[in-house]
Amino acid sequence: MQELILIVDDEPKIVRLARDYLEKNGFRVTTAADGQSALTAARREKPDLIVLDLMLPVLDGREVCKILRRESDVPIIMLTALAEEVDQITGLEIGADDYITKPFSPRALVARIRAMLRRTRGEIKTPAVIRVGALEVDSEKHTVTYNNKPIQLTPNEFKLLTLLANRPGQTLTREQLLDDLHGGASSIDRSVDSHIKNLRRKLEAESKTSLIDAVYGIGYRYIIV
Protein backbone atom coordinates (compact mmCIF):
# COMPACT_ATOMS: atom_id res chain seq x y z
CA MET A 1 0.00 0.00 0.00
CA GLN A 2 1.19 3.55 -0.74
CA GLU A 3 2.49 5.50 2.25
CA LEU A 4 0.16 8.13 3.74
CA ILE A 5 1.68 11.56 4.39
CA LEU A 6 -0.01 14.14 6.62
CA ILE A 7 0.82 17.73 5.58
CA VAL A 8 0.09 20.34 8.24
CA ASP A 9 0.28 23.98 7.14
CA ASP A 10 -2.06 26.97 7.21
CA GLU A 11 -0.90 28.29 3.82
CA PRO A 12 -3.16 26.76 1.11
CA LYS A 13 -0.62 27.33 -1.68
CA ILE A 14 2.06 25.38 0.17
CA VAL A 15 -0.35 22.57 1.01
CA ARG A 16 -1.52 22.35 -2.60
CA LEU A 17 2.03 22.38 -3.97
CA ALA A 18 3.25 19.68 -1.59
CA ARG A 19 0.12 17.54 -1.99
CA ASP A 20 0.18 17.62 -5.79
CA TYR A 21 3.87 16.74 -5.99
CA LEU A 22 3.63 13.96 -3.41
CA GLU A 23 0.61 12.41 -5.12
CA LYS A 24 2.42 12.59 -8.43
CA ASN A 25 5.23 10.63 -6.80
CA GLY A 26 3.05 7.82 -5.57
CA PHE A 27 2.12 8.91 -2.02
CA ARG A 28 -1.33 9.24 -0.50
CA VAL A 29 -1.85 12.62 1.18
CA THR A 30 -4.10 14.02 3.87
CA THR A 31 -3.91 17.58 5.17
CA ALA A 32 -4.65 19.80 8.17
CA ALA A 33 -4.56 23.60 8.52
CA ASP A 34 -4.10 24.01 12.27
CA GLY A 35 -2.53 22.22 15.21
CA GLN A 36 -5.69 20.75 16.71
CA SER A 37 -6.84 19.41 13.36
CA ALA A 38 -3.38 17.92 12.88
CA LEU A 39 -3.67 15.95 16.12
CA THR A 40 -7.13 14.74 15.15
CA ALA A 41 -5.93 13.63 11.70
CA ALA A 42 -2.82 11.94 13.11
CA ARG A 43 -4.83 9.97 15.65
CA ARG A 44 -7.58 9.01 13.21
CA GLU A 45 -5.63 8.28 10.03
CA LYS A 46 -2.30 6.98 11.41
CA PRO A 47 -0.05 8.54 8.71
CA ASP A 48 3.32 7.01 7.87
CA LEU A 49 4.99 10.44 8.13
CA ILE A 50 4.00 13.99 9.08
CA VAL A 51 5.22 17.22 7.49
CA LEU A 52 4.52 19.75 10.25
CA ASP A 53 4.68 23.53 9.95
CA LEU A 54 6.18 25.27 12.97
CA MET A 55 3.89 28.32 12.97
CA LEU A 56 0.26 27.18 13.15
CA PRO A 57 -2.99 28.66 14.45
CA VAL A 58 -4.87 27.19 17.46
CA LEU A 59 -1.90 25.05 18.52
CA ASP A 60 1.60 25.70 17.19
CA GLY A 61 3.86 23.10 15.64
CA ARG A 62 6.07 22.78 18.73
CA GLU A 63 3.13 21.78 20.93
CA VAL A 64 1.76 19.43 18.28
CA CYS A 65 5.16 17.76 18.00
CA LYS A 66 5.46 17.36 21.79
CA ILE A 67 2.00 15.79 22.05
CA LEU A 68 2.58 13.46 19.10
CA ARG A 69 5.87 12.31 20.59
CA ARG A 70 4.10 11.26 23.76
CA GLU A 71 1.65 9.21 21.70
CA SER A 72 3.65 7.70 18.82
CA ASP A 73 6.98 7.42 17.05
CA VAL A 74 5.63 8.60 13.66
CA PRO A 75 8.42 10.32 11.66
CA ILE A 76 8.04 14.12 11.72
CA ILE A 77 9.66 16.58 9.33
CA MET A 78 9.34 20.13 10.65
CA LEU A 79 8.52 22.76 8.04
CA THR A 80 9.48 26.30 8.96
CA ALA A 81 10.17 29.70 7.46
CA LEU A 82 12.59 30.37 10.30
CA ALA A 83 16.11 29.53 9.18
CA GLU A 84 17.95 30.38 12.39
CA GLU A 85 19.88 27.52 13.94
CA VAL A 86 18.08 27.89 17.28
CA ASP A 87 14.72 27.11 15.65
CA GLN A 88 16.12 24.07 13.89
CA ILE A 89 17.64 22.76 17.13
CA THR A 90 14.42 23.42 19.05
CA GLY A 91 12.45 21.40 16.53
CA LEU A 92 14.80 18.46 16.83
CA GLU A 93 14.95 18.66 20.63
CA ILE A 94 11.16 18.39 20.98
CA GLY A 95 11.05 15.27 18.86
CA ALA A 96 11.13 16.20 15.15
CA ASP A 97 13.25 13.85 13.06
CA ASP A 98 14.28 16.36 10.40
CA TYR A 99 13.46 19.85 9.20
CA ILE A 100 13.19 21.72 5.91
CA THR A 101 12.96 25.50 5.55
CA LYS A 102 10.65 27.58 3.38
CA PRO A 103 10.79 28.24 0.53
CA PHE A 104 11.50 24.64 -0.39
CA SER A 105 11.77 22.60 -3.56
CA PRO A 106 8.96 20.01 -3.84
CA ARG A 107 11.53 17.56 -5.18
CA ALA A 108 13.71 18.16 -2.13
CA LEU A 109 10.73 17.54 0.15
CA VAL A 110 10.00 14.23 -1.57
CA ALA A 111 13.66 13.24 -1.26
CA ARG A 112 13.64 14.05 2.50
CA ILE A 113 10.43 12.05 2.98
CA ARG A 114 11.81 9.01 1.16
CA ALA A 115 15.07 9.18 3.07
CA MET A 116 13.23 9.42 6.37
CA LEU A 117 10.96 6.49 5.55
CA ARG A 118 13.99 4.41 4.57
CA ARG A 119 15.77 5.22 7.84
CA THR A 120 12.77 4.52 10.04
CA ARG A 121 11.51 1.41 8.26
CA GLY A 122 14.58 0.04 6.57
CA GLU A 123 14.85 -0.83 2.90
CA ILE A 124 12.55 -3.47 1.49
CA LYS A 125 14.61 -6.64 1.60
CA THR A 126 15.36 -8.27 -1.70
CA PRO A 127 15.51 -12.07 -1.63
CA ALA A 128 18.49 -13.78 -3.23
CA VAL A 129 16.20 -15.26 -5.89
CA ILE A 130 13.01 -13.56 -7.11
CA ARG A 131 10.50 -15.69 -9.00
CA VAL A 132 7.46 -14.16 -10.69
CA GLY A 133 5.77 -16.61 -13.02
CA ALA A 134 8.35 -17.81 -15.55
CA LEU A 135 10.79 -15.05 -14.58
CA GLU A 136 13.69 -15.77 -12.24
CA VAL A 137 16.12 -13.09 -11.04
CA ASP A 138 19.13 -14.30 -9.05
CA SER A 139 20.81 -11.35 -7.31
CA GLU A 140 23.76 -13.43 -6.08
CA LYS A 141 24.62 -14.95 -9.44
CA HIS A 142 23.46 -11.79 -11.21
CA THR A 143 21.48 -13.80 -13.73
CA VAL A 144 18.00 -13.50 -15.26
CA THR A 145 16.07 -16.28 -16.94
CA TYR A 146 12.62 -16.55 -18.47
CA ASN A 147 11.29 -20.06 -19.02
CA ASN A 148 14.83 -21.16 -18.05
CA LYS A 149 16.31 -19.21 -20.97
CA PRO A 150 19.03 -16.68 -19.98
CA ILE A 151 18.52 -12.97 -20.69
CA GLN A 152 21.57 -10.71 -20.80
CA LEU A 153 21.03 -7.35 -19.09
CA THR A 154 23.19 -4.34 -18.35
CA PRO A 155 23.82 -3.53 -14.65
CA ASN A 156 21.20 -0.74 -14.70
CA GLU A 157 18.63 -2.94 -16.44
CA PHE A 158 19.27 -5.66 -13.86
CA LYS A 159 18.74 -3.18 -11.00
CA LEU A 160 15.49 -1.93 -12.47
CA LEU A 161 14.15 -5.43 -13.09
CA THR A 162 15.07 -6.47 -9.54
CA LEU A 163 13.20 -3.47 -8.11
CA LEU A 164 10.09 -4.09 -10.22
CA ALA A 165 10.01 -7.88 -9.91
CA ASN A 166 10.45 -7.66 -6.14
CA ARG A 167 7.14 -5.74 -5.99
CA PRO A 168 5.04 -7.25 -8.80
CA GLY A 169 1.85 -5.37 -9.57
CA GLN A 170 2.99 -2.31 -7.59
CA THR A 171 3.60 0.93 -9.49
CA LEU A 172 6.99 2.48 -8.81
CA THR A 173 7.44 6.13 -9.77
CA ARG A 174 10.28 7.33 -11.96
CA GLU A 175 11.66 9.18 -8.95
CA GLN A 176 11.66 6.02 -6.85
CA LEU A 177 13.46 4.12 -9.59
CA LEU A 178 15.97 6.93 -10.08
CA ASP A 179 16.61 7.12 -6.35
CA ASP A 180 17.39 3.41 -6.11
CA LEU A 181 19.24 3.32 -9.41
CA HIS A 182 21.59 6.20 -8.65
CA GLY A 183 21.67 6.14 -4.86
CA GLY A 184 19.89 9.47 -4.56
CA ALA A 185 22.24 11.28 -6.94
CA SER A 186 20.55 13.62 -9.38
CA SER A 187 19.99 12.28 -12.84
CA ILE A 188 17.90 12.95 -15.90
CA ASP A 189 14.36 11.69 -15.46
CA ARG A 190 14.22 10.26 -18.98
CA SER A 191 17.18 7.94 -18.26
CA VAL A 192 14.77 5.56 -16.54
CA ASP A 193 12.55 5.50 -19.63
CA SER A 194 15.54 4.62 -21.81
CA HIS A 195 16.64 1.75 -19.57
CA ILE A 196 13.06 0.47 -19.27
CA LYS A 197 12.62 0.55 -23.04
CA ASN A 198 15.67 -1.67 -23.53
CA LEU A 199 14.67 -3.94 -20.66
CA ARG A 200 11.16 -4.45 -22.04
CA ARG A 201 12.54 -5.30 -25.46
CA LYS A 202 14.86 -7.98 -24.05
CA LEU A 203 12.15 -9.51 -21.87
CA GLU A 204 9.57 -9.54 -24.65
CA ALA A 205 11.97 -11.36 -26.95
CA GLU A 206 11.55 -14.39 -24.65
CA SER A 207 8.12 -13.85 -23.07
CA LYS A 208 6.37 -12.81 -26.32
CA THR A 209 4.26 -10.45 -24.23
CA SER A 210 4.71 -7.19 -22.36
CA LEU A 211 5.87 -7.75 -18.77
CA ILE A 212 6.46 -4.14 -17.74
CA ASP A 213 3.52 -1.77 -17.86
CA ALA A 214 3.92 2.01 -18.14
CA VAL A 215 1.53 3.87 -15.81
CA TYR A 216 0.97 7.20 -17.53
CA GLY A 217 2.45 10.17 -15.68
CA ILE A 218 3.66 8.05 -12.76
CA GLY A 219 6.08 5.24 -13.53
CA TYR A 220 6.20 1.49 -14.18
CA ARG A 221 5.08 -1.85 -12.76
CA TYR A 222 5.90 -5.49 -13.40
CA ILE A 223 2.83 -7.36 -14.63
CA ILE A 224 1.98 -10.67 -13.01
CA VAL A 225 1.21 -13.14 -15.83
Average pLDDT per block of 10 residues along the chain, 225 residues long: 89 94 91 96 95 91 91 89 59 77 86 82 71 92 93 90 90 79 51 86 91 88 84
Question: Can you spell out the DSSP letters for 92-157?
Answer: HHTT-SEEEESS--HHHHHHHHHHHHHHHH-PPPPPSEEEETTEEEETTTTEEEETTEE----HHH
Give the bridge partners for 77, in sequence order. Answer: 51, 98
Are 23 and 47 in contact, with CB atoms under 8 Å apart?
A: no
What's residue 182's pLDDT? Answer: 58
What's residue 184's pLDDT? Answer: 46
What's residue 82's pLDDT? Answer: 64
What's residue 138's pLDDT? Answer: 94
State the Cα–Cα distance between residues 219 and 212, nearest whole angstrom. 10
**Domains of the chain (ranges, CATH numbers):** 4-121 (3.40.50.2300), 129-222 (1.10.10.10)
Q: Which pLDDT tens digit goes with each residue over 180-197?
A: 665 544 444 567 888 899
What's residue 45's pLDDT? Answer: 94
Half-sphere exposure of 160 (CA within 13 A, CB side): 29
Are 56 and 64 in contact, with CB atoms under 8 Å apart?
A: yes
The pTM assigned to this predicted structure is: 0.58
Nearest CA to 77 among 37, 112, 43, 119?
112
